[in-house]
Amino acid sequence: MEDKDKPGARVLEHKRIVVGVTGGIAAYKTADLVRRLRADEADIKVIMTRSAQAFLGPLTLQALSGNPVYTELLSKGSDAGMQHIELARWCDLILVTPASANFMAKLAHGLADDLLTTVCLASTRPILVAPAMNREMWLAAATQENKQILEQRGVRFLGPAAGDQACGEVGPGRLIDTDDLFAEITAALAPGVLRGLEVLVTAGPTREYIDPVRYLSNRSSGKMGYAIAQAAAEAGASVTLVSGPVALAPPRGAEPVWVSSAEEMYREVMSRAHHCDVLVAAAAVADYHCGVPALRKLKRGGASLTLTLLPTPDIVKAVTALARRPFTVAFAAETENLVANAQNKLEDKAVDMIAANDVAANGVGFDHDRNEIEVLWRGGSIHLAKGSKQTLARRLIRIIAERYRAKKDTA
Ligand code: PMT
């Protein structure tokens, strides 16, 4: 995967993040996080509390962030005494990781006796807090009450995770993984073109069994649909991903619903379609199934075998026939007459938009990491040049957001 295609790569570009580090053994993990945020071109300024410096040297974070590390509330120099205001206004987001029980207590009660708590109090920007501490400290009534107070004021808690702790105990209080922290920061800073909307995405192949061990299927890997689900989540939507059998982990922020056959996908989609705002049907759904599969494995015989296939329900068509239908985007997998065939499907399935996918072209379509699509709607079209499925998915989501709003405006 190219760097620019990594989840969040564009989202973080030039975003200003204050990373606050408080005392705890997990402070060393901040080094890797800051390195990754910088690699995606975020601007980072680090504030370390006194106890944090006992676990990690400021020089490390200075080198990785490319900026001096702030350690004192009252420093000497021209901006003496005003740093907290400047930092509070400079940033787009404050992340405190690891956050100690002491930090939580101070912030909950407005005790601003160091630079980090002062910046948090002085800032109107989103604050994300990733706690890490001994499990008893985490579960202590005081800590839980402080958490509640902070949450009520809009502070977002990331974790903690449960598991083995540095102190030898097991339980809740571990800092969440750097991958998860990174994804949360990205989601929090995403432009949010679909914020507040419910998006349903279908992905992957379906399997139509002919006997207990054999099925009809296709080469869909789910990569395109999963990239769309991830891009929709990054854009602030609440995402449900109805997926056929694939070998991918569901993207963070999307709720997976696993299905196998076209009939199952039909049922899961139809039970949700009437209350979602947007449906993106990227799944390669079988057009035929074999009726009633044999109960036992079909025996090999000398004669030829004839399978009678029946049509599966057309999921997209059933959705667009609903009285309260979502903005519906289908894909058209074509091996010839790409645009004309896709145009026919746009009309036949009465969808709002269709992504025409030339699945006979080299290096794109089924199971490839890259794709190239022609997006069509009534009155317009746009070519999305060959690129990673992640990049295309983000571009497609932006187009969907625009067309969705245009349709709402004219309704
Ligand atoms: O999963 P990947 O390996 O990343 O590959 C991506 C992809 C090539 C599968 C994807 O980009 C794609 O083109 N998906 C649509 C595949 C397909 O089934 O195309 P179609 O032209 O046969 O169907 C048109 C539309 O009707 C699709 O949105 C499909 O989801 C939908 N359909 C089809 C059959 C059916 N019974 N019900 C449906 O809703």
Residue from 325, 331, 375 to probe ligand 1 pocket by mutation (most atoms less than 8 Å from CB) = 331
For domain 198-293+306-410, give the CATH superfamily: CoaB-like (3.40.50.10300)
Helices (H), 285-383: 315-320, 338-348
Q: What gap in Å lies between CA 47 and CA 67, rounded to an integer?
A: 11
Catalytic residue among 91, 120, 167, 276: 167
- Which residues in the chain land under pLDDT 70? 1-9, 75-82, 252
Tally of CB atoms within 10 A around 62: 15
Q: Do the domains spanning 16-189 and 198-293+306-410 agree at the CATH topology level?
A: yes
Q: How far apart are CA 169 and CA 175, in angstroms?
A: 14
C-alpha 220 to ligand 1 mean position (Å): 9
Task: Verify whether residue 167 is a known catalytic residue.
Answer: yes
300 CA to middle of ligand 1, Å? Answer: 32
Domains of the chain, residue spans: 16-189, 198-293+306-410
Distance 358 CA to ligand 1 centre (A): 12
- Tell me what pLDDT residue 3 has: 45
Q: In the 8-state DSSP scheme, what is residue 235? A: T
Chain segment 379-394, per-residue pLDDT in tens? 999 999 998 898 899 8
Strand segments, DSSP code E, in 137-296 are 156-157, 161-164, 170-174, 198-203, 208-211, 214-216, 238-243, 254-258, 278-281, 288-289
Query: What is the predicted pLDDT for the residue at 388?
Result: 84
Q: What does pTM read for this prediction?
A: 0.67
Q: Does domain 16-189 have CATH number 3.40.50.1950?
A: yes
What is the distance between the alpha carbons of residues 101 and 98, in angstroms, rounded to a whole number?
10
Nearest to 256 by CA among 202, 183, 185, 195: 202
Q: What is the per-residue pLDDT for 81?
A: 59
pLDDT value of position 2: 46
- DSSP notation for 22-60: -SSGGGGHHHHHHHHHHHTT-EEEEEE-HHHHHHS-HHH
- Beta partners for residue 254, in sequence order: 239
Strands (E), 244-292: 254-258, 278-281, 288-289
Pocket of ligand 1 (CB under 6 A): 202, 204, 220-225, 262, 281-285, 287, 312, 314-316, 330-333, 345, 357, 359, 365-367
Which tokens belong to 366? 């089924």
Query: Length of the chain in residues, anyone?
Result: 411
